[in-house]
Structure 1
Amino acid sequence: MKHATSLLLVAGLLLAGCDRPAAAPDASAAATSTPTPARVAAVEPAPAAACPATFDAFLPSFENDLAVQKIAVTDPLQSDSVDPNADPEPAPVSKMLARDAVTFPVMPDEATQKKDGLVATRTAVSATEVSIKLTKPDTDYQTTFFFRKDDCWHLYRMKDDSL
Protein backbone atom coordinates (compact mmCIF):
# COMPACT_ATOMS: atom_id res chain seq x y z
CA MET A 1 0.00 0.00 0.00
CA LYS A 2 2.88 2.33 0.83
CA HIS A 3 4.39 1.71 -2.64
CA ALA A 4 1.04 2.41 -4.31
CA THR A 5 0.67 5.64 -2.34
CA SER A 6 4.18 6.74 -3.37
CA LEU A 7 3.45 5.88 -6.99
CA LEU A 8 0.20 7.85 -6.90
CA LEU A 9 1.98 10.83 -5.33
CA VAL A 10 4.70 10.83 -8.01
CA ALA A 11 2.11 10.36 -10.76
CA GLY A 12 0.04 13.23 -9.38
CA LEU A 13 3.06 15.52 -9.29
CA LEU A 14 4.01 14.59 -12.83
CA LEU A 15 0.48 14.94 -14.12
CA ALA A 16 0.14 18.32 -12.53
CA GLY A 17 2.98 20.02 -14.48
CA CYS A 18 2.42 20.23 -18.19
CA ASP A 19 1.92 23.60 -19.86
CA ARG A 20 -1.67 22.84 -20.91
CA PRO A 21 -4.09 19.94 -20.56
CA ALA A 22 -4.03 17.29 -23.27
CA ALA A 23 -6.91 17.61 -25.70
CA ALA A 24 -9.74 15.16 -25.22
CA PRO A 25 -9.85 12.59 -28.00
CA ASP A 26 -12.36 13.35 -30.74
CA ALA A 27 -15.04 10.65 -30.71
CA SER A 28 -15.60 10.96 -34.47
CA ALA A 29 -11.88 10.45 -35.12
CA ALA A 30 -11.96 7.17 -33.21
CA ALA A 31 -14.59 5.83 -35.60
CA THR A 32 -12.49 6.49 -38.71
CA SER A 33 -9.69 4.32 -40.04
CA THR A 34 -7.24 7.23 -39.83
CA PRO A 35 -4.85 6.78 -36.89
CA THR A 36 -5.38 9.30 -34.11
CA PRO A 37 -2.43 11.19 -32.64
CA ALA A 38 -0.74 9.55 -29.69
CA ARG A 39 -1.83 10.81 -26.32
CA VAL A 40 0.45 11.46 -23.37
CA ALA A 41 -0.80 10.40 -19.95
CA ALA A 42 -0.58 13.94 -18.60
CA VAL A 43 -3.98 15.57 -18.39
CA GLU A 44 -3.56 18.38 -15.88
CA PRO A 45 -0.89 21.05 -15.54
CA ALA A 46 2.08 19.89 -13.43
CA PRO A 47 4.79 21.71 -11.51
CA ALA A 48 7.71 22.81 -13.66
CA ALA A 49 9.98 20.32 -11.85
CA ALA A 50 7.79 17.44 -13.07
CA CYS A 51 7.76 18.71 -16.64
CA PRO A 52 11.32 19.87 -17.35
CA ALA A 53 11.80 22.36 -20.15
CA THR A 54 15.05 20.76 -21.35
CA PHE A 55 15.76 17.21 -22.44
CA ASP A 56 18.92 17.22 -20.29
CA ALA A 57 16.74 17.70 -17.21
CA PHE A 58 14.13 15.15 -18.36
CA LEU A 59 16.32 12.19 -19.40
CA PRO A 60 17.83 11.26 -15.99
CA SER A 61 14.35 11.21 -14.44
CA PHE A 62 12.98 9.10 -17.29
CA GLU A 63 15.87 6.62 -17.17
CA ASN A 64 15.97 6.19 -13.41
CA ASP A 65 12.34 6.49 -12.27
CA LEU A 66 9.82 3.86 -13.32
CA ALA A 67 6.93 6.12 -12.32
CA VAL A 68 8.21 8.81 -14.70
CA GLN A 69 8.48 6.25 -17.51
CA LYS A 70 4.89 5.16 -16.95
CA ILE A 71 3.69 8.77 -17.16
CA ALA A 72 5.93 9.88 -20.05
CA VAL A 73 5.12 7.12 -22.57
CA THR A 74 2.54 7.92 -25.24
CA ASP A 75 -0.57 5.82 -25.58
CA PRO A 76 -0.24 4.12 -27.97
CA LEU A 77 3.54 3.68 -28.18
CA GLN A 78 5.04 2.90 -31.58
CA SER A 79 7.25 -0.18 -31.29
CA ASP A 80 9.45 -1.15 -34.24
CA SER A 81 11.55 -4.31 -34.32
CA VAL A 82 13.00 -6.91 -36.65
CA ASP A 83 11.58 -10.41 -37.10
CA PRO A 84 14.75 -12.50 -37.50
CA ASN A 85 12.71 -15.57 -38.50
CA ALA A 86 10.97 -13.96 -41.47
CA ASP A 87 11.54 -15.72 -44.77
CA PRO A 88 13.55 -15.23 -46.94
CA GLU A 89 15.31 -12.65 -44.71
CA PRO A 90 14.65 -10.67 -41.50
CA ALA A 91 11.75 -8.23 -41.88
CA PRO A 92 10.72 -5.06 -40.03
CA VAL A 93 7.71 -5.27 -37.69
CA SER A 94 5.83 -2.20 -36.47
CA LYS A 95 3.16 -2.23 -33.74
CA MET A 96 1.18 0.38 -31.86
CA LEU A 97 1.17 -0.74 -28.23
CA ALA A 98 -1.58 0.32 -25.85
CA ARG A 99 -0.21 1.40 -22.46
CA ASP A 100 -1.27 -1.88 -20.81
CA ALA A 101 0.73 -3.82 -23.43
CA VAL A 102 3.97 -1.89 -22.78
CA THR A 103 6.57 -3.70 -20.68
CA PHE A 104 8.20 -1.43 -18.09
CA PRO A 105 10.88 -0.35 -17.70
CA VAL A 106 11.00 0.54 -21.38
CA MET A 107 14.52 1.97 -21.03
CA PRO A 108 17.13 0.56 -18.64
CA ASP A 109 18.27 2.84 -15.83
CA GLU A 110 21.78 4.32 -15.83
CA ALA A 111 23.13 1.68 -13.42
CA THR A 112 21.84 -1.16 -15.62
CA GLN A 113 23.23 0.51 -18.74
CA LYS A 114 26.65 0.72 -17.10
CA LYS A 115 26.49 -2.84 -15.68
CA ASP A 116 25.47 -4.25 -19.09
CA GLY A 117 28.12 -2.27 -21.00
CA LEU A 118 25.58 -0.28 -23.00
CA VAL A 119 26.71 2.85 -24.83
CA ALA A 120 24.23 5.72 -25.22
CA THR A 121 24.40 7.99 -28.27
CA ARG A 122 22.22 11.07 -28.35
CA THR A 123 20.95 12.67 -31.57
CA ALA A 124 19.05 15.95 -31.45
CA VAL A 125 16.74 16.00 -34.46
CA SER A 126 15.37 19.41 -33.45
CA ALA A 127 14.81 21.46 -30.30
CA THR A 128 11.75 19.32 -29.58
CA GLU A 129 12.85 15.87 -30.84
CA VAL A 130 15.73 13.80 -29.48
CA SER A 131 16.69 10.16 -29.91
CA ILE A 132 18.84 8.02 -27.64
CA LYS A 133 20.44 4.92 -29.18
CA LEU A 134 21.68 2.23 -26.79
CA THR A 135 24.20 -0.19 -28.26
CA LYS A 136 26.39 -2.91 -26.81
CA PRO A 137 29.80 -3.13 -28.49
CA ASP A 138 30.59 -6.41 -30.27
CA THR A 139 26.94 -7.54 -30.20
CA ASP A 140 23.87 -6.89 -32.35
CA TYR A 141 22.11 -5.09 -29.46
CA GLN A 142 20.78 -1.77 -30.71
CA THR A 143 17.67 -0.03 -29.40
CA THR A 144 16.69 3.56 -30.15
CA PHE A 145 14.27 5.62 -28.07
CA PHE A 146 12.53 8.57 -29.74
CA PHE A 147 11.40 11.48 -27.56
CA ARG A 148 9.32 14.52 -28.41
CA LYS A 149 8.40 17.63 -26.44
CA ASP A 150 4.85 18.83 -26.85
CA ASP A 151 3.74 20.22 -23.49
CA CYS A 152 6.14 17.83 -21.75
CA TRP A 153 8.84 15.46 -22.98
CA HIS A 154 7.58 11.95 -23.77
CA LEU A 155 8.68 8.72 -25.43
CA TYR A 156 6.62 8.18 -28.56
CA ARG A 157 8.58 5.44 -30.38
CA MET A 158 11.00 2.60 -29.67
CA LYS A 159 13.03 0.85 -32.34
CA ASP A 160 14.80 -2.44 -31.56
CA ASP A 161 17.19 -3.37 -34.37
CA SER A 162 18.66 -6.32 -32.47
CA LEU A 163 18.44 -9.71 -34.15
Structure 2
Amino acid sequence: MPTIHKPLTIFALLLTQSVYARDAIERSIVQPASGSAGIACPAADFPTFIQKFSEEEHIQKEFTQYPLERLQLDPESQPEPGPIVRHLHRDQLRFPIIPPKQERVNRMLKIQIDSASAGKASITLTKPDTDYQVRYHFKKNGCWILERIEDRSI
Protein backbone atom coordinates (compact mmCIF):
# COMPACT_ATOMS: atom_id res chain seq x y z
CA MET A 1 0.00 0.00 0.00
CA PRO A 2 1.48 3.39 -0.91
CA THR A 3 2.48 5.53 2.08
CA ILE A 4 -0.06 8.25 1.20
CA HIS A 5 -2.99 5.82 1.53
CA LYS A 6 -2.02 4.64 5.05
CA PRO A 7 -2.87 7.97 6.75
CA LEU A 8 -6.13 8.19 4.80
CA THR A 9 -7.04 4.62 5.74
CA ILE A 10 -6.28 5.27 9.42
CA PHE A 11 -8.30 8.50 9.31
CA ALA A 12 -11.25 6.70 7.70
CA LEU A 13 -11.15 3.96 10.35
CA LEU A 14 -11.05 6.49 13.19
CA LEU A 15 -13.92 8.46 11.65
CA THR A 16 -16.01 5.31 11.24
CA GLN A 17 -15.32 4.27 14.83
CA SER A 18 -16.30 7.73 16.10
CA VAL A 19 -19.59 7.71 14.16
CA TYR A 20 -20.37 4.18 15.39
CA ALA A 21 -19.73 5.17 19.02
CA ARG A 22 -21.96 8.25 18.72
CA ASP A 23 -24.72 6.17 17.11
CA ALA A 24 -24.50 3.59 19.93
CA ILE A 25 -24.81 6.36 22.55
CA GLU A 26 -27.85 7.88 20.83
CA ARG A 27 -29.54 4.47 20.56
CA SER A 28 -29.01 3.78 24.27
CA ILE A 29 -30.83 7.01 25.19
CA VAL A 30 -34.08 5.91 23.58
CA GLN A 31 -34.39 2.51 25.24
CA PRO A 32 -37.64 1.57 26.98
CA ALA A 33 -38.26 3.28 30.30
CA SER A 34 -37.33 0.24 32.32
CA GLY A 35 -34.39 -0.70 30.14
CA SER A 36 -35.78 -4.20 29.59
CA ALA A 37 -37.11 -5.90 26.50
CA GLY A 38 -40.54 -4.74 27.57
CA ILE A 39 -44.13 -5.84 27.44
CA ALA A 40 -46.87 -4.55 25.20
CA CYS A 41 -48.43 -1.21 26.08
CA PRO A 42 -51.50 -1.97 28.25
CA ALA A 43 -53.65 0.73 26.56
CA ALA A 44 -53.30 3.69 24.23
CA ASP A 45 -55.93 5.85 25.95
CA PHE A 46 -54.93 7.23 29.35
CA PRO A 47 -58.02 6.28 31.43
CA THR A 48 -57.68 2.60 30.46
CA PHE A 49 -53.90 2.72 30.89
CA ILE A 50 -54.09 4.19 34.41
CA GLN A 51 -56.67 1.60 35.45
CA LYS A 52 -54.30 -1.21 34.42
CA PHE A 53 -51.18 0.62 35.70
CA SER A 54 -52.68 1.03 39.17
CA GLU A 55 -53.72 -2.63 39.41
CA GLU A 56 -50.58 -4.42 38.18
CA GLU A 57 -47.22 -4.03 39.90
CA HIS A 58 -45.32 -5.49 36.92
CA ILE A 59 -46.91 -2.86 34.65
CA GLN A 60 -45.82 -0.13 37.08
CA LYS A 61 -42.26 -1.44 37.02
CA GLU A 62 -42.23 -1.64 33.22
CA PHE A 63 -43.80 1.75 32.46
CA THR A 64 -41.86 3.94 34.90
CA GLN A 65 -38.98 6.13 33.81
CA TYR A 66 -35.72 5.51 35.67
CA PRO A 67 -34.40 7.41 37.41
CA LEU A 68 -37.84 8.58 38.55
CA GLU A 69 -38.08 12.18 39.74
CA ARG A 70 -39.80 12.38 43.13
CA LEU A 71 -40.65 15.64 44.85
CA GLN A 72 -41.51 15.50 48.54
CA LEU A 73 -42.15 18.30 51.01
CA ASP A 74 -39.74 18.75 53.90
CA PRO A 75 -41.86 19.59 56.97
CA GLU A 76 -38.75 20.81 58.82
CA SER A 77 -38.02 23.49 56.22
CA GLN A 78 -38.51 27.08 57.43
CA PRO A 79 -40.49 29.33 57.17
CA GLU A 80 -42.74 26.75 55.48
CA PRO A 81 -42.33 23.23 54.09
CA GLY A 82 -40.05 23.23 51.06
CA PRO A 83 -39.56 20.71 48.26
CA ILE A 84 -36.89 18.03 48.21
CA VAL A 85 -36.31 16.51 44.76
CA ARG A 86 -34.74 13.08 44.39
CA HIS A 87 -34.03 10.95 41.34
CA LEU A 88 -34.71 7.33 42.24
CA HIS A 89 -33.60 4.18 40.48
CA ARG A 90 -35.80 1.11 40.30
CA ASP A 91 -34.17 -0.57 43.31
CA GLN A 92 -34.84 2.56 45.42
CA LEU A 93 -38.59 2.51 44.81
CA ARG A 94 -41.22 0.64 46.79
CA PHE A 95 -43.85 -1.03 44.62
CA PRO A 96 -46.68 -0.70 44.05
CA ILE A 97 -46.15 3.00 43.42
CA ILE A 98 -49.92 3.49 43.12
CA PRO A 99 -51.91 1.21 45.41
CA PRO A 100 -54.36 -1.17 43.68
CA LYS A 101 -58.09 -0.52 43.89
CA GLN A 102 -58.81 -2.75 46.90
CA GLU A 103 -56.02 -1.13 48.92
CA ARG A 104 -57.28 2.33 47.92
CA VAL A 105 -60.76 1.37 49.13
CA ASN A 106 -59.37 0.02 52.43
CA ARG A 107 -57.30 3.18 53.00
CA MET A 108 -60.08 5.50 51.73
CA LEU A 109 -57.88 6.88 48.96
CA LYS A 110 -59.42 8.55 45.91
CA ILE A 111 -57.81 8.67 42.48
CA GLN A 112 -58.67 11.43 40.01
CA ILE A 113 -57.46 12.17 36.48
CA ASP A 114 -56.43 15.83 36.50
CA SER A 115 -55.45 16.19 32.87
CA ALA A 116 -54.91 14.02 29.82
CA SER A 117 -53.76 15.35 26.46
CA ALA A 118 -52.12 13.61 23.51
CA GLY A 119 -48.68 13.61 25.16
CA LYS A 120 -49.06 14.41 28.88
CA ALA A 121 -51.35 13.32 31.69
CA SER A 122 -51.54 13.54 35.46
CA ILE A 123 -53.55 11.98 38.26
CA THR A 124 -53.87 12.83 41.94
CA LEU A 125 -54.26 10.37 44.77
CA THR A 126 -55.95 11.95 47.82
CA LYS A 127 -57.45 10.99 51.14
CA PRO A 128 -60.52 13.08 52.03
CA ASP A 129 -60.27 15.30 55.12
CA THR A 130 -56.48 14.94 55.30
CA ASP A 131 -53.49 16.66 53.71
CA TYR A 132 -52.60 13.46 51.81
CA GLN A 133 -52.05 14.48 48.18
CA VAL A 134 -49.77 12.73 45.69
CA ARG A 135 -49.70 13.73 42.03
CA TYR A 136 -48.35 11.40 39.33
CA HIS A 137 -47.16 12.81 35.99
CA PHE A 138 -47.06 10.72 32.83
CA LYS A 139 -45.77 11.35 29.31
CA LYS A 140 -46.58 9.43 26.17
CA ASN A 141 -43.70 8.12 24.13
CA GLY A 142 -45.22 5.18 22.28
CA CYS A 143 -46.93 4.27 25.56
CA TRP A 144 -47.65 6.14 28.79
CA ILE A 145 -44.64 6.38 31.13
CA LEU A 146 -44.63 7.60 34.74
CA GLU A 147 -41.99 10.33 34.80
CA ARG A 148 -42.54 12.28 38.04
CA ILE A 149 -44.21 12.01 41.44
CA GLU A 150 -45.07 15.05 43.56
CA ASP A 151 -45.93 14.18 47.15
CA ARG A 152 -47.45 17.35 48.65
CA SER A 153 -48.52 15.62 51.86
CA ILE A 154 -47.23 17.02 55.13
- Do both share a fold (TM > 0.5)? yes
Matches within 5 A, 1:29-68: 40-41=33-34, 44=37, 46-47=39-40, 50-68=41-59
- RMSD between aligned alpha carbons? 2.3
2 CA distance for matches of 1:136 and 1:66? 21
Higher helix share: 2
Q: How many residues align?
A: 129
Q: Which residue of 2 aligns with 1:79?
A: 70
1:24 pairs with 2:24: no
Please, what TM-score do these two structures have when normalized by structure 1? 0.71
Q: Which residue of 2 aligns with 1:147?
A: 138
Stretches of 4+ aligned residues off by more than 6 angstroms: none
Tell me, which stretches of 5 or more residues in structure 1 are unaligned? 1-21, 26-36
The aligned amino acid for 1:110 is K
Q: Name the % identity.
A: 33
Cα deviations across residues 56-95 of structure 1 (Å, max 9, x unaligned)?
Answer: 2211221111111111110110100100011332111111
The aligned amino acid for 1:132 is I
Match of residue 84, structure 2, among 85, 88, 93: 93
Please, what TM-score do these two structures have when normalized by structure 2? 0.74
On the 8 A contact 1:38/1:74 being kept in 2, the answer is no
